Structure 1
Amino acid sequence: MAGCSQSGGELKMEGWLYIIRSNRIGLQYSRKRYFVLEAHLLNCFKSMPISSLQESGRSAIIDSSIRVTDNGRESIHRKVFFIFTLYNSSNHNDQLKLGASSPEEAARWIHSFQEAALKGGPRPGSDVACSKSRWQSFRLSSSSDSNHNNSIDWTLYPTTKMDRVTSDVVAPSPWTIFGCQNGLRLFKEAKDRDSHGKWDDHPAIMAVGVVDGTSEAIFQTLMSLGPSRSEWDFCFYKGSVVEHLDGHTDIVHKQLYSDWLPWGMKRRDLLLRRYWRREDDGTYVILYHSVVHKKCPPQKSYVRASLKSGGYVISPVTEGKHSVVKHMLAIDWKFWKSYLRTSAVRSITIRMLERVAALRELFKAKQGNYPTADLSSGELMRNVRLHQSEEDGIVDMCTEIEAGKTKENMNEAMERASSEHSSLVGLNDAADEFFDVPEPTEHDRAEDGWASDFGPEVYSQDTRQLKLSTAAVFVKKIHDLAVQKRGYMDLQDMTREDGVCCSYGNTLSKDPTCTLPCSWTAAEPSTFLIRGKNYLEDQKKFKAKGTLMQMVAADWLRSDKREDDLGGRPGGIVQKYAARGGPEFFFIVNIQVPGSTTYSLALYYMMNTPVEDSPLLHNFVNGDDAYRNSRFKLIPYISKGSWIVKQSVGKKACLIGHALEMNYFHGKNYLELGIDIGSSTVARGVVNLVLGYLNNLVIEMAFLIQANTEDELPEYLLGTCRLNHLDAAKSIPVKV
């Protein structure tokens, strides 16, 4: 189990992790190692160090060029790992794939690595600084000493610690309570009269209850398709994973019992695309919707129901000791008699939602078996060391943390790491491939461990992947497998039509009335909450009153490759203004969804005043990539659409550069931000889901540069947008 502590202002994280490698013939395997992250130095040991002065076998430096990607849940040799990858943004070959035994442990490590990277590494002249020549190779290539102030000042106020608001959007709740049953509050979703889709033909109903368990333990219970599910899920007969798409997404088949259904009703089954993620506050989200898969056709003895949208949201409360569980379903039970639909659908759906009450009773019965203190996500755990005495073999729990290395020893360790073991790939050396730390037996870990629910066929796909040369190739192959070459099809998938040749800045029409499909307009700024003048003291946010820039154009494009630097292309709106020599400056947000077909949504914002008049924007435009990644913020909002999409996207501001790769293109009169959705499995899962419902959605977004100091506050919006019922079939092809 990982432990985290803070001493002298420096974060220290240590614990057992698994290095995930591929051998010479492409089979994946894991090796258990003990890692210690202190300040910006990551050390790797084959056994638990008995002293802070003990030298590690290998080490690496974590600085501002290091990124962390959450790869989700994978099964390797029948053991479930929660995988994340460290990689160097300036050299994708320099990467390290690690696995944790639980999602909470993985989340703590990811957070610690992000905190270390965001602080930018030791500076020249500091107590632990390395020589400039040795340190420079591990920075982003665009970094320079002159930009250090821009790169690190914001880390004094990390957004993960300051922003406790669950939503940055002012919007009415779409849910109305209509009853209470078995201790559960029941809500119905108001029907959207303006919706063009059919997902709301069957009412969306939600049950809400409090369960005496941690969010992680409840998440583990809900994800299981094994025999343990029979302890609480009275609807479930049996289930299996049909195909594992990536660490956050798979296709599952569930067969239901018939004894809880009305008399004479034939048994039902469901074929679902299951997606999950963990939020920063410890909330787990599991989303489902029906799909068609060639490996699992409808069966004669079952009627296949259609789940329009559904899932669970498990949010920790009371310091993680309890959880609020929300279970939502909008399902078509496929009745052949139309006059039975209205009453029967509602009663059967409510009956299925009562599984939350059964889950609550299960955790009451097991209350003594789930130690909440160890699994809570909102607290930093004490740094507990297991020290085995050589004399008597007794294992002691030592809660005191050693004083640590002296400044001289730390400086020496940094120097050694810079000159010898500084790269992440150095920690991934396969020279000790055949050394591993002994694991507990299957019997010892069966009770509390994560049981693998991946079938033999899926397991074979997981462990026999070909070794890929770069992270970019890995992302593309996984994305092509999950989106373009997948064996399933979303029920909302649309055919694509041929378009016309594009003119950059004019491919998506403007409609201020928001009535035309596939159009854009600016969203109301007061919908979004931003940091106020005294945010550092009171953490209060206020409604935005306006925007710095005006949205003037939008592009909706498709291509067989990623389309970068749209602002610099001849004939586009940006270059037309540049030719006039006016004062106009453009800020372009280019959201790119890669695959066999790459979609690009480009939003153009313009201002007529000099950039220098807005110091925060001026610093952003002229800063290095590390500074830009730490400041650019997006607030998303699905104002009209399915619950599953609203829940997937959320309404919380996000520092995009933390989770996704961003490419910047700076011209004479513009700055373009290329956001690569394919660089994150979590983001790909969300966007793939959104694409399936795209023409039924109204999407609103706001963009801003995060303010972190008193001089920069209050914040202001750069611009907003409202996208009305986009259609992938109406995207415009880019022709060379």
Structure 2
Amino acid sequence: MATAARPPASPAAVGPGDVSEVELSEAGSPDLGSRSSGSGSGGSGRSMAEYSGWVYHIGVNSIGHEYCHLRFLVIRGKTVAMYKRDPHDHPGLEPIRKGAVAHTLMVEELGRRRVNHGDVYVLRLYNRLDQTKKGEIACASSGEAQKWIEAFEHAKQQADHDLMRGVSRNRLQSENEINLDCHRPRVRRYAQGLGKLVRIGKGPEMLLRQSSDLRNQERVNTNFGGDTGDAFEAHEWRYVRTFNGIRIFEDIANPKGGKGILLKSVGVVGANPDTVFEVVLDLDKHKRYEWDMLTADLELVETIDGYYDVVYGTYEPKYLNWWKGKKDFVFSRQWFRGQDGAYTILQSPTRHNKRPPKHGFERTKINPSTWEIRRLNTTGSSPKCVVTLMLEISPSFWGRWKRRHSSNFEKSIPFALLSQVAGLREYFAVNPALTSDLPSTVVKSKASEPLLIQSELEDSEPGDEFYDALARGESFEDEDSDDDDAVTPKAGKVKLKNVSWAIAGLTLKTSKALVETSELVTNSTPVTVDPSHFHGTLHRAKSENDPNSWSAPGGEKFMIRGKTYLTDYTKVVGGDPLLKLIAVDWFKVNERFDSVALHPKSLVQSEAAKKIPFILVINLQVPAKPNYNLVMYYAAERAVNKDSLLGRFIDGTDAFRDARFKLIPSIVEGYWMVKRAVGTKACLLGKAVTCNYLRQDNFLEIDVDIGSSSVARSIIGLVLGYVTSIVVDLAILIEAKEEKELPEYILGTVRLNRVNPDSAVSI
């Protein structure tokens, strides 16, 4: 995405320009970090990074008008300030909004939204203790939105640090959280200039298509296995032939759950994933004409949410000339951005009442397909990504082509779709302005001219109001910070140990014994935990094909961090789970059901459960109509070592738990598009969705609110549509970040076999 010059002073005609440099302030300098981030004015030595760039402040004012204003946002330490212009170019400029970030601040991705004549990616900021206190900002790209999320996360860590350092409560209470809601004294001024301020389309044509490209420093996230998944998949791809320099593969494993043959085309595109993603989703036909020979004439039919829409397209067969007439089609698109920065786009043929069959056109179906766009870690400065287009094709058609090598395949819809990867590669090759990936921020070792923001946080305009998000204090531990940056490999690759399965099996048994020794108290008599004594509402599988049931598989299908991960980034095959799965409950409720373990009829409240040293309760709250709760109970046969990683997780702060609670999914059987949506990457659940923790007696309950994330809601909606034909494995673990915590171990696993929503028990 091209970056414009720095915007002029007039807010009615500005576009986001180059983001300013990140400055690390030295201790004792009169900057924001020393004034309002708990650093102290002289002596702490703790330096703060500044995140700054252009965003769009959007919302609805009290008279019902939508507003979208271009604003320059600065996050320094835990303090946030919003300006009409770049304060680095205008010294002494007062912020129009300012405040502090508290640990109760939540940032939710709302996905893609059409604003006037452009698409933006919206972030919702709210107080988790009072969700009426909220506001929205928008970014020009999904990648930029993710970087702002990381910036706010660092600000929350600074707030936790202040609590740990014992900053006085009076001072914390005086630091009010920034208020992004519109307020009445300013509404009248907005109304007077409504035509100029609301219609942002009157600004430069590229106003909504330019990016501030916020970045702290170039990093490669190794939490999620680099370019490999964290669970083994059943696909077995065989190279078939090359079209236009793009390799075509066929899945010869014939996985269950698919109706046809899977093909994929794979190519390297010289651009960053964010830019390629934007181009694939863009409906501008003049741009699509340059790389897309089939679905170039598209128009939006309906936006379902920020991650899901329906489009209509037409095609006149000028090149695939064995067709006899014009064709049209309707298909849906769902997209997700993983925590590793990779994009997945699902495209499925569909119907829509607004686009019935049209006279003069033959309605056809576009093959179900998926895009996967992942950064390619290279040593060069030019960005590159691997683009994979996977689609389903009729077995009979593909079989005839392979036997006869008929040229008709090269005049078919599947061929036109597979060729899109080659089109993208050439499109970016001849548009070098779109491929820039140079860092827009610089980390300086010496403090430069500091950006001053008043530490008193008083109102800069009459009528500005802030809400106080300060709540119960939480202690801060060094383990809460994400230390992966310090051990990031230059190439971002994850190595897998090349050992035989026999040796791997011996290693798993040995590591299992070592884990039990370190995590559990071994000098005590173990309690015999017999799962047959515990009964949940979902029954245990009697056989491999028993539907609507659960079982407890081993960890050999999952990849976890090995003993030497911090030095060579090696992942190893997981061993047997540390905890034993004793029961699974499957509930349906009208309202969200928290604190399951405290329910009088809960398994945890039984006399048999009270004799167990420790029980981990995982409560997955599934948003639907009605809502569902999948509750898993894991038991330890011995008491937990308080000084172990598990012990620190059980009795640690919520921030520490959020930074460590990890889940690895794997669809064993099911429709291939559901597999692509769910993926096999490990996910830090505490970073992706809201997790609430209940620690009492001999148990810890984790309530995972899947509905708190728009992305998670979209994925779970897709999964529920196929849930009765899906076999899914889940592995739960605590992420290891320090050498003494390695190797990782799997806390528990579960296999859910074709769960039926109608069998859920009402409570």
TM-score norm. by structure 2 comes to: 0.72
The match for 2:226 among 143, 165, 184 is: 165
Match of 2:279 in 1: 221
Residues 131-530 of structure 1 mapped to structure 2, 5 A cutoff: 131-135=168-172, 160=221, 165-166=226-227, 167-171=229-233, 173-190=235-252, 192=254, 195=256, 197=257, 200-228=258-286, 229-236=288-295, 238-261=297-320, 263-264=322-323, 267-307=326-366, 309-317=368-376, 318=378, 321-331=383-393, 348=412, 349-367=414-432, 369-374=433-438, 379=439, 381-382=441-442, 402-404=448-450, 413=455, 505-511=535-541, 513-530=543-560
- Between stretches 519-528 and 178-187, larger displacement belongs to 519-528
**Contact 1:211–1:323 under 8 Å retained in 2:** yes
Match of 2:68 in 1: 30
Task: Give SS of 2:680's match.
Answer: coil
Match of 1:483 in 2: none
AA paired with 1:76? V
Q: Which runs of 5+ in 2 are unaligned?
A: 1-17, 26-46, 178-218, 470-532
Match of 2:129 in 1: 90
Match of 1:659 in 2: 688
Alignment pair present for 1:560 and 2:590: yes
Task: Give SS of 1:526's match.
Answer: coil
The match for 2:59 among 21, 40, 48 is: 21
Alignment pair present for 1:546 and 2:576: yes
Cα offset, 1:351, TM superposition: 3.7
Query: Structure 2 vs 1, CA of residues 309 and 555 (structure 1 numbering), >3 Å: closer, same or farther?
Result: farther
Cα offset, 1:530, TM superposition: 2.2
Query: Structure 2 vs 1, CA of residues 188 and 161 (structure 1 numbering), >3 Å: closer, same or farther?
Result: closer
**Contact 1:3–1:14 under 8 Å retained in 2:** yes
Query: Structure 2 vs 1, CA of residues 49 and 299 (structure 1 numbering), >3 Å: closer, same or farther?
Result: same
Cα offset, 1:326, TM superposition: 1.0
Cα offset, 1:341, TM superposition: 13
Query: Structure 2 vs 1, CA of residues 566 and 356 (structure 1 numbering), >3 Å: closer, same or farther?
Result: same
Residues 95-110 of structure 1 mapped to structure 2, 5 A cutoff: 95-110=134-149
What is the rounded CA distance, in whole Å, between the counterparts of 1:400 and 1:88 in structure 2? Answer: 35
- Structure 1, residues 528-584: CA drift from partner, whole Å, max 9, x if none? 222233433433332222211111111222222222222222333222245x74134
Query: Structure 2 vs 1, CA of residues 731 and 313 (structure 1 numbering), >3 Å: closer, same or farther?
Result: same
What is the rounded CA distance, in whole Å, between the counterparts of 2:735 and 2:296 in structure 1? Answer: 50
Task: Give SS of 2:143's match.
Answer: helix
AA paired with 1:370? L
Cα offset, 1:320, TM superposition: 5.5
- Structure 1, residues 139-195: CA drift from partner, whole Å, max 9, x if none? 99xxxxxxxxxxxxxxxxx994665533222446432222212111001123545x3
AA paired with 1:688? G
- Between stretches 227-236 and 705-714, larger displacement belongs to 705-714
What is the rounded CA distance, in whole Å, between the counterparts of 1:57 and 1:365 in structure 2? Answer: 42
AA paired with 2:450? G
Task: Give SS of 1:123's match.
Answer: helix
Task: Give SS of 2:62's match.
Answer: coil
Task: Give SS of 1:525's match.
Answer: coil
Alignment pair present for 1:116 and 2:158: no
Cα offset, 1:247, TM superposition: 1.3
Alignment pair present for 1:72 and 2:111: yes
Cα offset, 1:720, TM superposition: 0.7
AA paired with 1:219? F
- Structure 1, residues 233-254: CA drift from partner, whole Å, max 9, x if none? 2113622211111111111122
Query: Structure 2 vs 1, CA of residues 124 and 703 (structure 1 numbering), >3 Å: closer, same or farther?
Result: closer
Match of 1:680 in 2: 709
Cα offset, 1:13, TM superposition: 0.8
What is the rounded CA distance, in whole Å, between the counterparts of 1:191 and 1:297 in structure 2? Answer: 38
Q: Would you tell me which structure has more strand in proportion to its own residues?
A: 1
AA paired with 1:187? F
Match of 1:7 in 2: 24
Task: Give SS of 1:232's match.
Answer: coil
What is the rounded CA distance, in whole Å, between the counterparts of 1:504 and 1:678 in structure 2? Answer: 29
- Structure 1, residues 442-497: CA drift from partner, whole Å, max 9, x if none? xxxxxxxxxxxxxxxxxxxxxxxxxxxxxxxxxxxxxxxxxxxxxxxxxxxxxxxx
Looking at both structures, which has the greater relative contact order when contacts are Cα pairs under 8 Å and sequence separation is at least 6?
Answer: 1
AA paired with 2:762? V
Alignment pair present for 1:698 and 2:715: no
Task: Give SS of 1:293's match.
Answer: coil
What is the rounded CA distance, in whole Å, between the counterparts of 2:296 and 2:403 in structure 1? Answer: 26
**Contact 2:563–2:743 under 8 Å retained in 1:** yes
**Contact 2:651–2:695 under 8 Å retained in 1:** no
- Between stretches 257-266 and 109-118, larger displacement belongs to 257-266
What is the rounded CA distance, in whole Å, between the counterparts of 1:651 and 1:290 in structure 2? Answer: 25
- Structure 1, residues 691-725: CA drift from partner, whole Å, max 9, x if none? 22223322111111223333333322110111122
Q: Number of matched residues?
A: 609
Query: Structure 2 vs 1, CA of residues 357 and 250 (structure 1 numbering), >3 Å: closer, same or farther?
Result: same
Match of 1:732 in 2: 760
Match of 1:599 in 2: 628
AA paired with 1:5? V
AA paired with 1:382? V
Query: Structure 2 vs 1, CA of residues 19 and 383 (structure 1 numbering), >3 Å: closer, same or farther?
Result: farther
Match of 1:571 in 2: 601
AA paired with 2:82? C
Cα offset, 1:292, TM superposition: 2.9
Task: Give SS of 1:292's match.
Answer: coil
What is the rounded CA distance, in whole Å, between the counterparts of 1:109 and 1:710 in structure 2? Answer: 30
Cα offset, 1:681, TM superposition: 0.9
Cα offset, 1:84, TM superposition: 0.9
What is the rounded CA distance, in whole Å, between the counterparts of 1:212 and 1:133 in structure 2? Answer: 53
**Contact 2:546–2:753 under 8 Å retained in 1:** yes
**Contact 2:310–2:333 under 8 Å retained in 1:** yes
Query: Structure 2 vs 1, CA of residues 20 and 731 (structure 1 numbering), >3 Å: closer, same or farther?
Result: farther
- Between stretches 643-652 and 717-726, larger displacement belongs to 643-652
Task: Give SS of 2:615's match.
Answer: strand
**Contact 1:183–1:357 under 8 Å retained in 2:** yes
Match of 2:511 in 1: none
Query: Structure 2 vs 1, CA of residues 3 and 593 (structure 1 numbering), >3 Å: closer, same or farther?
Result: farther
Match of 2:202 in 1: none
Match of 2:659 in 1: 630
AA paired with 1:2? V
Q: Which runs of 5+ in 1 are unaligned?
A: 141-157, 385-398, 428-502
Query: Structure 2 vs 1, CA of residues 339 and 529 (structure 1 numbering), >3 Å: closer, same or farther?
Result: closer
Task: Give SS of 2:563's match.
Answer: coil
AA paired with 1:311? T
Query: Structure 2 vs 1, CA of residues 56 and 596 (structure 1 numbering), >3 Å: closer, same or farther?
Result: same
What is the rounded CA distance, in whole Å, between the counterparts of 2:695 and 2:592 in structure 1? Answer: 18
Q: Percent identity?
A: 30
What is the rounded CA distance, in whole Å, between the counterparts of 1:83 and 1:553 in structure 2? Answer: 40
Query: Structure 2 vs 1, CA of residues 311 and 112 (structure 1 numbering), >3 Å: closer, same or farther?
Result: same
